[in-house]
Amino acid sequence: MRKVPFTLTDITIYGALALFCVLTIYPFWSIIVISFSTPQAYYGSQFHLVPTSFVFDAYKFNFDNPQLLRSFAVSIFVTVVGTTNSLFWTMITGFFLSKKGLAFTSIVFTLFLVTFFFDGGLIPNFILIRQLGLRNSLLSIILPFTINPFFLILMKNYFSNMTKEIEEAAIIDGAGTLTLLFRVVVPISKPIIATIGLFYAVHFWNDWFWPMIYLSDQKIFPLALYLRNVISHATSLGVDPGVVNIQNPATVRAATIVITILPIILVYPFLQRYFVHGLLLGSVKE
Amino acid sequence: MEAAPKAIGIPMAQSPRMQKIIRDIRMNKLLYLLILPPVIYVFVFHYIPMYGVVMAFEDFSFKLGYFGSDWVGLKHFQWLLENPTFRNAFANTLKINLLRIIVGFPAPIILALIINEVRHTLFKRAVQTLSYLPYFISWVVLAGIFNDILSRDYGALNSFLVGLGLPRIDFLQNPTIFPWTLVLTEIWRTVGWGSIIYLATIASISPTLYEAAEVDGASRFQKIRHITLPALRSTMVILLIISVGNVLRVGFDQVFNLYNPLVYETGDIIQTYIVRAYASNPNFSRLTAAGLVQSLLGMILLVVANEAVKRTRDGEGIY
């Protein structure tokens, strides 16, 4: 490679990007610093750039609260079950739609496509859940989100682009439908499965709105809704206001936030390398 | 079990089209069996609620249901159009999203152009990885963080401004400022994610173009101006149109978690109006009508946007 001199423009570029990184990290960094601060340290600092104290009080307070642990468990459950369910059916439907020459492909595709443009909105969905008897059941925040039409289209496009020749070869070799899907199509579709799986997982992990609408028993509130209640100072969340007075609400809140985003930050680096490939191939139509 | 397929097959076997369909089903039995649950799912969880929007034209009561409730025509829509709070929310929805598109659209392009100029692969990759991250964090969390940082009296950003000798800005409670707070924090969250497609498009540009330009003595900016930007044009058009089509579906999480009564005047949007009304004194039919206004507008914009994409991309739409 030819050696290119480092110019003033380069310095500006690297400087701008360094500033961009600082701006991206700072909000997360400051919340982490606050979560480990003593109340004195919290009130003594404006920027929370450098930790001046390092205590686990706020975390201890959080983990002593049985509701936080329950909500954490609920979120793990909903995310694992919801993502598995959604990914499985999105793959099945995407696989069906990627098949050429079936009598019903275009009808089924249209059925799902319509849901991309139009949905009933808050009230009709609420009435449906009520009539199905799913109110206050975790199924109410899992089942309605089984297939996201946008992810379905990405999956279908990816499958159609990837599988044509390989599929024909596999059929000649005598592979049945399920063998074809799980032994041939799925292994070569890792990027799109990782990308869409992460999207689904993030949806289930972050969802607070539908839980707020459908669930009334705070014992089964997922973490995101629990956090929302902590942040909006709702009184109904099961934190004893007397205890909050002893602790510093700001550091406790910061610790709750860190606990909420930690799983995403831990999983994210392993999946992000698939994004570009998965998104690009999924968005290309043949 | 032996007799069942025969019983279906025989009476319909007359029409050749039917025959073809039946053969298709028989040959792909397992596939059709697998697609059955998704089809039932889409009917129950999407089409029944979709049918439920008829209640926007009724005085809905749970006792009478969708079929028995009194038909009242456009009464609820009329009420909404005359209601100042809804009209304000409607106007804000359009204003905030217009601002979001105008200010937010160029941001990921600029970021992609800058990242592309970086020569150290490791640094480049680190910046990219970091830049996608905020996109995956929910607005519940971000609102919790930004409420601290943007606070008028104790917030880090205002402390910074004061340190520079600038006046304090009330990001969260001043109605004139609040839409800008929404737009800028949304850019902060999505700029990295938005740059993925642009960076991928830039990566697909043939290096020979740049080499030829270098031989001709083109400067860095000339290369961006005459090679990179023209290559990004069609991607830009598509993404711009998609964001127009999405105008009415985004933003609820952000606004609902960041706003407060002081900024309803400029911050309230249709969805937050619906959810607030739902929490206080729900007239289910009226709220469904409000939701329908929102979905219809969004749908019209998306269809118009897709038609426009088809025109610019040789007849290919996004769906």
Q: What are phi and psi of A229, to 5 degrees?
A: -70, -35
Confidence of residue B235 (pLDDT cuts 50, 70, 90): confident
Chain A residues within 8 A of B303 when measuring between CB atoms: 117
User: What does the pLDDT read at residue A239?
Assistant: 47
Q: In chain A, whose CA is at the least distance from the CA of B45?
A: A144
Confidence of residue B316 (pLDDT cuts 50, 70, 90): low
User: Closest to A24 (Cβ–Cβ): which among B55, B134, B275?
Assistant: B134
* B13: helix, strand or coil: coil
Q: Say yes or no: A115 contacts chain B, CB-CB below 8 A.
A: yes
User: What does the pLDDT read at residue B108?
Assistant: 95
User: What does the pLDDT read at residue B91?
Assistant: 93
Burial tier of B275 (Cβ tally within 10 Å: 0-12, 13-18, 19+): middle
The single-letter DSSP state of residue A183 is: I
Q: Say yes or no: A71 contacts chain B, CB-CB below 8 A.
A: no
Q: How far is CA B202 from the centre of its chain?
A: 24
User: Closest to A96 (Cβ–Cβ): which among B35, B282, B316?
Assistant: B35
What's the rounded Cα separation, in Å, for the pair B213 and A16? 26
Note whether A147 contacts B38, CB cutoff 8 Å: yes
Q: Say yes or no: A102 contacts chain B, CB-CB below 8 A.
A: yes
User: What does the pLDDT read at residue A268?
Assistant: 85
Concatenated DSSP letters of A14-29: HHHHHHHHHHHHHHHH
- pLDDT tens digits for B73-120? 999 999 999 999 999 999 999 899 889 889 999 999 999 999 999 988
CB neighbours of B262 closer than 8 A, spacing ≥ 6? B173, B174, B175
Note whether A276 contacts B32, CB cutoff 8 Å: no
Q: Give the gap in angstroms from C-alpha A250 to the nearest C-alpha of chain B.
A: 9
Please give the ipTM for the structure prediction: 0.86
- pLDDT tens digits for B127-174? 998 999 999 999 999 999 999 899 888 889 999 999 999 999 999 999
User: Closest to B24 (Cβ–Cβ): which among A103, A119, A285?
Assistant: A103
Q: What are phi and psi of A11, to 5 degrees?
A: -60, -45
Chain B residues within 8 A of A119 when measuring between CB atoms: 46, 49-50, 295
What's the rounded Cα separation, in Å, for the pair A251 and A234? 17
Q: In chain A, whose CA is at the least distance from the CA of B27?
A: A102
Q: How many CA atoms lie within 13 A of B205 on its CB side?
A: 23
Q: Give the gap in angstroms from C-alpha A102 to the nearest C-alpha of chain B.
A: 7
Q: Which of A7-16, B181-190, B209-218, B306-315 has the highest mean pLDDT?
A: B181-190
User: What does the pLDDT read at residue B158?
Assistant: 93
What's the rounded Cα separation, in Å, for the pair A115 and A242? 48
Q: Is the pLDDT of residue B6 over 50?
A: no
Q: What is the percent of chain B with per-residue pLDDT over 90, rounded to a whole number?
A: 56
Note whether A128 contacts B292, CB cutoff 8 Å: no
Note whether B49 contacts A25, CB cutoff 8 Å: no
Chain A segment 239-258 residues within 8 A of B by beta carbon are: 250, 253, 257
Chain B residues within 8 A of A276 when measuring between CB atoms: 196, 199-200
CB neighbours of B89 closer than 8 A, spacing ≥ 6? B268, B269, B270, B272, B273
State the average pLDDT for chain B: 87
Chain B segment 67-96 residues within 8 A of A by beta carbon are: none
Chain B residues within 8 A of A275 when measuring between CB atoms: 132, 196
User: What does the pLDDT read at residue A59?
Assistant: 92
What's the rounded Cα separation, in Å, for the pair A20 and B112? 12
Note whether B53 contacts A30, CB cutoff 8 Å: no
User: Closest to B31 (Cβ–Cβ): which among A89, A96, A147?
Assistant: A96
Note whether B136 contacts A103, CB cutoff 8 Å: no
Q: Say yes or no: B17 contacts chain A, CB-CB below 8 A.
A: no
Note whether A147 contacts B41, CB cutoff 8 Å: yes
User: What does the pLDDT read at residue B4?
Assistant: 46
Q: What is the percent of chain B with per-residue pLDDT over 70, rounded to a whole number?
A: 92
Q: Say yes or no: B195 contacts chain A, CB-CB below 8 A.
A: no
Q: Say yes or no: A19 contacts chain B, CB-CB below 8 A.
A: no
User: What does the pLDDT read at residue B312?
Assistant: 65
Q: What count of residues does chain A have?
A: 286
CB of A163 within 8 A of CB of A184?
yes
- pLDDT tens digits for B257-276? 999 999 999 999 999 999 99
How many CB atoms within 10 Å of residue B181? 22
What's the rounded Cα separation, in Å, for the pair A72 and B219? 55
User: What does the pLDDT read at residue B307?
Assistant: 80
Residues of chain A with pLDDT under 70: 1-5, 163-165, 174-175, 233-247, 283-286
Q: Say yes or no: A203 contacts chain B, CB-CB below 8 A.
A: no
